[in-house]
Amino acid sequence: MVELKDFLGLIHPFLAVAFIFPLIGLVSYFSLQTRQRRLAAKEGKSKIPANVGTEHLRLGRWLGNGVVLLALIGLAYPIYTKIVWAEDTFRAWFITLIFAATIASLVFLNKARTPLWRGVFATLTGAGLVILGSQPEIFRRGFEWYVSHYYYGITAALLMIFSLAIFPDIYKDRSNRWRNTHIVLNCVALLLFVGQGFTGARDLLEIPLSWQQPYIEQLYINNCQTQDCTVQPADAQNAEESPNS
């Protein structure tokens, strides 16, 4: 039986496939078009439309904000489905406050005009992501950090925050220092997004449905990966061992 919790777990991958990955393709396409037009303009008239730069900027901002919000959704699901409010009320409300503060910082980052305030709100947004990602409910795959969906995602989100913070400076910098920094870091982000596609698909295979979870836990408890065994949920097993059963 599929429960509401299982459907909620699909929100993060659904948004990634339906919205974020198509945006990545569009932003990458317009970035190449923008660069080709800029290079062609130095030699003569370019056939590439002048609005490609504007479209790249507009879609890039959508992508940056979308990746950060997607990361927050991905963090919210394991936190709020595992945390016990009655036993850890203070931390639950503190985490909720951090979520709200991170989203507010992202909003203010988009509205900030001066480099100082963009730096402040970018730092607060990134700090919020890191604090939320450090919660014990988050599975970070630390034993294989180099293929971790968490570490790829947090790094990509932090790069998107940095891009949102520096984009106004790209058009003011005549030395192209910020533009070159933007190109290099977003090439790294593109590789991380490719890694996200792989690690995300792998992790979906490893996450059991709610009714399967107690059986899976018993498989690991009984070391069934190295021997043949029959398992049942811990509750049923305890009932059989009870003298009153």
Q: What is the mean pLDDT of each run of 10 residues along the chain (245 residues)?
A: 82 96 95 86 76 92 97 96 89 96 98 95 97 94 93 97 92 84 94 96 87 80 77 58 50
Please tell me the distance from the alpha carbon of residue 46 to that of residue 40, in angstroms, as a whole number. 5
Query: What is the structure's pLDDT at 2?
Result: 64
Query: What is the structure's pLDDT at 21?
Result: 96
Query: What is the structure's pLDDT at 228?
Result: 80
Name the 3-class secondary structure at 21: helix
20, 63 contact by CB (below 8 A): yes
Nearest Cα residue to 162 out of 180, 196, 185: 185
pTM: 0.87
Name the 3-class secondary structure at 84: coil
The tokens describing 244, both together, are 């009153």
**Residue 115 host element (H or E):** helix 115-133
The tokens describing 10, both together, are 């699909």
